[in-house]
């Protein structure tokens, strides 16, 4: 019996392979998760870039129509991969002479071994009109 215990505890061959097999799925899912979070950051940057370009466009004279502003947002967005882009909502406030542009984007996160939550990004910008 002691000879068997000595044989099992004394042999270290293959222990690194077993440790690697246990650690590899964890490492891969961590790297994939960082990639998914990076996609969310890219989508956020693209959404805010499009919103900023549309806000600059809306301040020119003569003031463009709401459909022209919406098409400007749609043409300048980037990084919005497999998510769902909602149509921009433009709200006019005639008393304060402002326009408010609201945009939103939803993306389902995909972690290799399970589906992650749906992340919703929203942004809003208030534009002050000159006349």
The answer to whether residue 90 scores a pLDDT higher than 70 is yes
pLDDT digit string (tens) for 51-73? 999 999 999 988 899 999 999 99
Q: 38 to each of 33, 76, 90, 131, how far by Cα in Å?
A: 9, 20, 29, 41
Tell me what pLDDT residue 1 has.
63
CB 105 within 8 A of CB 42: no
For residue 21 the two structure tokens come to: 């097999």
Cα–Cα distance for residue pair 76/53, rounded to 1 Å: 7
* Average confidence (pLDDT) over 31-47: 93
pLDDT tens digit string along 98-124?
Answer: 999 999 999 999 888 788 899 999 999
pTM above 0.95, yes or no: no
What pLDDT is attached to residue 128? 92
Q: How far apart are CA 21 and CA 44, in angstroms?
A: 36
When pLDDT is averaged across residues 71-90 and rounded to a whole number, the result is 91
Taking the C-alpha atoms of residue 100 and residue 62, their distance in angstroms, rounded to an integer, is 18
Question: What's the mean pLDDT when you consider all of the chain?
Answer: 89
């Amino acid at each position: 019996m002691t000879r068997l215990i000595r044989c099992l505890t004394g042999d270290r061959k293959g222990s690194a392979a077993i440790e690697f097999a246990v650690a590899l799925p964890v490492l891969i899912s961590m790297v994939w998760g960082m990639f998914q979070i990076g996609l969310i950051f890219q989508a956020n940057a693209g959404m805010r870039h499009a919103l900023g370009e549309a806000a600059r466009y809306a301040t020119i004279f003569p003031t463009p129509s709401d459909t022209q502003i919406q098409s400007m947002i749609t043409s300048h967005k980037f990084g919005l991969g497999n998510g769902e882009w909602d149509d921009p909502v433009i709200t006019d406030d005639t008393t304060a002479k402002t326009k408010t542009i609201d945009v939103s984007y939803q993306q389902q996160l995909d972690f290799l071994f399970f589906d992650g939550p749906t992340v919703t990004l929203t942004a809003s910008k208030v534009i002050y009109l000159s006349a």
